[in-house]
Homo-oligomer: A and B are copies of this chain.
Amino acid sequence: MPFYEPTTKDMEFVLHDLLKVSELDIPGFNEMDRDFTGAVLEEAGKIARDVLAPLNPVGDHEGCKLENGSVRVPTGFEDAVNVLRDGGWTGFDCDPEYGGQGMPYTLSVAVGEMHSSANMALMMYPGLTHGAYAAIHAHGSDEQKTKYLPNLVSFKWGGTMNLTEPQCGTDLGLIRTKAEPQDDGTYKISGQKIWISAGEHGMAENIIHLVLAKIPGGPEGVKGISLFIVPKFHVNEDGTLGDRNEVSCGGLESKMGIHGNATCVMNYDGATGYLIGEKHKGLRAMFTMMNEARLGVGMQGLAQASVAYQNALAFAKDRIQGRAVTGVKEPEKAADSIIHFPDVRRMLMDQKSFVEGGRAFMLWAATMIDRSRRNDDADAEGLVSLLIPVVKGFLTDKGLDATISAQQVYGGSGFTTEWGAEQFVRDCRIALIYEGTNGIQALDLVGRKLATDNGKHVMAFFDLVKDFIKENGEDERMAEFITPLKAASKDLQAGGMYFMQNMGNPDDALSGAHDFMHLFGHVCLGLMWARMAKASFEALDAGAADTEFYESKLVTGRYYMTRKLPETAFLLKKVQAGGENVMGLSVANF
């Protein structure tokens, strides 16, 4: 039976030793001292461990059932959602004006990682609701905010995001869902949306669907898309619920993982909708919160890797099989634990060094989102927008690798349902696909973000790395972190340079986009590990009590620097190979 053990200690290290959040000049951050974040994470962790994690295999096994138009969620899900709601977790980082707790986004990401590790499918119900909250909060009228936000914050009402249609996912310009203007200022929404996560369920009194649709006569393509609120039940003036709106769940998708979440076909048959923001500016409105949404998916990839690692580690310590090559380690047993075998260690260290490095990267990026939100800091916004495709693409690609590697530690048991390792793989798999496939992330990075503001933000990133190298280049203890970071960063710059010099043939740039995204991800994790090494040395110098924790950080960091980071040279080679061989085969000859 799989378990989840809260990663409070490591998160505290990242928040305080590494990021020093309480010292950051961001409104609200000075309250984030160790005591406070520790107390929050401890509570969040208890829910993850005791409430959410035990339901994870239940949700996978039972799945969701569509019965007479209603979706029955797995046993225990509603009770668990009530625990989240009652504890104020659903509105953790929401606006206090609408009942939220107003906590920093950064802390909400740490909490979110725990909860997502414990039960990814379940957390998508409040997760999508949060997305709807955010869009209305950013673009809704005051009336709309007053009407919808408090109930979304408390999860009295759920929320969904409706983008995809059978003929379009990535290319939303092909949307066919229509919004016919009515005399009373509302719209009649008609069309079919697919893959709508949490699209229908009975855990909330109402569901507020945010729907992309085209008003007839508007501009062609993506420039003619508007965003609408379509409530499942009409909401009366006094806030009470009226009749059902003409929206219904037409079916549930059978899928590889996240079985506990209802992936719905949603049919809009002249449903009443309310425009959010301006006409034809729907895509912009939907994507305002894109950085948070994509960071959230990167977080899911990392979260599955984290829980998969924990369980694989426990298995490796417990399972005895054969004897260590360097001599018997556990003579009192019939065989040694498999954790003594180098290849098992390799797999565990791969996972551990990724999870800890990725967590630091994710939380660092989250602080930039807080800075851009709370300080209105355009540079932070620019830098984090550059990094977001890397957070999403790299953390989910490598997160999936980590879950597969964790599964491998179990041998045959990893393939059985009983041990749970295979569920982490299946659940994680979707994170590489939704919220923009990882190929789309790479395209966003190379085709758009690199050149934003004339390359200002990528230069800022390089400066960050350079400055860190410069500041610590004299420190001998840091050499084994600085030297590989320097080499990797040089590879990244060379990759960027290649694109600059080959703008003329976009196929050349885009053929290497995915590799470049990975190159970038490695440099980010390399930077994080170098910084964590520095923080660990400082803590040890300052006489920190838990010397083993900091020394373990250094060992894990060295592993990343010697065995993961050097992949950058190979990735650069692929970037520089251009598009010739990628595009060389004619379609007919495939």
Contact = CB atoms under 8 A, between A and B. Distances in A.
Interface of A: 164, 168-171, 173-174, 194-195, 253-257, 313, 317, 321-322, 325-326, 334-335, 337, 339-349, 352, 400, 404, 407-408, 411-412, 414-418, 422, 425-426, 429-430, 432-434, 437-439, 442-443, 447, 505-507, 510-511, 513-514, 548-549, 551-552, 555-556, 558-559, 562-563, 566-567, 569-570, 573-574, 577, 579, 581-585, 587-590
Contacts of A169: 321, 411-412
A411 B563 contact: no
Contact of A255 (B340, B416, B429, B432): B416
A408 B334 CA distance: 44
B416 A433 contact: no
* A412, A416, A555, A562, most chain B CB atoms within 10 A: A412
A77 to B, nearest CB: 21
A349 B582 contact: yes
Nearest to A568: B570
19 contacts: A171-B335, A173-B335, A194-B412, A254-B418, A325-B510, A326-B505, A326-B507, A342-B513, A343-B511, A344-B439, A345-B583, A346-B582, A349-B582, A407-B429, A414-B433, A555-B584, A556-B585, A559-B582, A562-B574
B349 A415 contact: no
B426 A408 contact: no
Contact of A411 (B256, B414, B433): B433
Contacts of A422: 255-256, 429
Given A169-B412, A415-B430, A432-B408, A559 B587 contact: no
A259 to B, nearest CB: 11
B322 A171 contact: yes
Nearest to A413: B169
Contacts of A174: 321, 334-335
Nearest to A434: B412
B559 A581 contact: yes
B555 A581 contact: yes
Contact of A412 (B195, B404, B579): B195
Contacts of A548: 588-589
A590 B555 CA distance: 11
Given A433-B411, A559-B582, A570-B566, A416 B253 contact: yes
A351 to B, nearest CB: 10
B322 A170 contact: yes
B511 A346 contact: yes
Nearest to A564: B574
Given A256-B416, A346-B511, 15 more contacts: A169-B412, A253-B416, A255-B416, A256-B426, A326-B507, A339-B590, A343-B442, A345-B582, A408-B432, A408-B433, A552-B589, A555-B589, A563-B574, A566-B570, A569-B570
A313 B433 contact: no
B164 A412 contact: yes
A506 B324 CA distance: 10
B581 A562 contact: yes
Given A174-B334, A510-B342, A321 B168 contact: yes
A482 to B, nearest CB: 17
Given A254-B416, A325-B507, A429-B415, A558 B582 contact: no
A496 B174 CA distance: 55
A558 to B, nearest CB: 5
Contacts of A255: 415-417, 422
B506 A326 contact: yes
Contacts of A340: 587
Nearest to A557: B581
Contacts of A567: 570
A556 B313 CA distance: 40
Contacts of A506: 325-326
Nearest to A254: B417
A583 B511 contact: no
A275 to B, nearest CB: 26
Contacts of A570: 566-567, 569-570
A425 B349 CA distance: 25
A443 to B, nearest CB: 7
A7 to B, nearest CB: 13
